[in-house]
Amino acid sequence: MFKDDQHLTEKQKGILAAATELFAEKGYAATSTSEIAKKAGVAEGTIFRHYKSKKDLLLTIVSPTMIKVISPMVKKDINKVLDKEYDTFQDFLRAMIANRITFVKKNTSLLRIFIQELPFHEELKKQVIEQIGKDVLERLREVIRHYQGKGQIIEMHPDTIIRVAAASTLSYILAKYVVFPEVDWDEEAEIERMIQILSDGIAVKNSD
């Protein structure tokens, strides 16, 4: 994840990777800098040459800068879906969910840290909400309007539809992959039914 970013030395990348993994696994407060150093294969002092403090290390992983590195990845990733033209909103939903699942699977550690540490860092929370929010929201609105234009989705403020759909799908995905990764649900079927229900709720009712 941190491989091609900027001009980081191998050691720095190693430290970031080790810290990310350990923070995700055990939580920030329960991870010691000596563990990080050992896992990264560097001396403990080396960590502090690059990051003023343990907290600074966390913020670097999770900071605006990092978000700026990730956010484009996210957007580019999402755009793969947004740029395609789907016949029905259901198809779009299905593709979107598949896409998000892939993303979550690839970034479980980072997301876990976000979920775990966000509550303790007010400023960060706001930044995340704004940054990710604004960037992605506008694109999604376009999509909703697009399918509304095609007469496939009920006329309702796009934000509301996004919110309900996103709340349902994202929280479903997060719950499944980040919070309870070991619980075994029948994914395929489950998702299909979720799509069914959601799109039924959102779709224009022919005969109404």
For DNA, the binding residues (CB under 7 A) are 9-12, 30-34, 42-50, 52-55
Please identify, using beta-carbon distances, which residue of 150 and 193 lies nearer to a second copy. Answer: 193
Minimum CB separation from DNA for residue 75, in Å? 31
Please identify, using beta-carbon distances, which residue of 73 and 179 lies nearer to a second copy. Answer: 179
Q: Which does 10 bind (CB under 5 to 8 A by kind): DNA, a second copy, none?
A: DNA
CA atoms within 13 A on the CB side of 82: 16
> Of 129, 79, 101, nearest to 188 (Cα)?
101
Q: Which does 123 bind (CB under 5 to 8 A by kind): DNA, a second copy, none?
A: none
As a dihedral over the C-alpha atoms of residue 197, residue 201, residue 206, residue 208, rounded to 10 degrees, the angle is 130
Distances (CA, A) of 164 to 31, 155, 202, 206, 208: 36, 14, 10, 22, 22
Q: Which does 11 bind (CB under 5 to 8 A by kind): DNA, a second copy, none?
A: DNA
Q: Which does 202 bind (CB under 5 to 8 A by kind): a second copy, DNA, none?
A: a second copy
Minimum CB separation from DNA for residue 41, in Å? 7
According to DSSP H, which parts of the chain are helical?
10-26, 33-40, 44-50, 54-62, 64-83, 89-106, 108-117, 122-149, 158-174, 187-202
Distances (CA, A) of 101 to 7, 18, 78, 208: 30, 24, 11, 34
The amino acid occupying position 139 is R
Minimum CB separation from DNA for residue 6, in Å? 13
Q: Is the dihedral of CA 42, 44, 48, 54 positive or negative?
A: positive
Please identify, using beta-carbon distances, which residue of 16 and 58 lies nearer to a second copy. Answer: 58
Q: Which residues form the interface with a second copy (CB under 8 A)?
A: 26-30, 112, 115-116, 118-120, 122, 125, 129, 156, 160-161, 163-164, 167-168, 171-172, 174-175, 179-180, 182-183, 190, 193-194, 196-202, 205-208
Q: Which does 121 bind (CB under 5 to 8 A by kind): a second copy, DNA, none?
A: none
Please identify, using beta-carbon distances, which residue of 113 and 144 lies nearer to DNA. Answer: 113
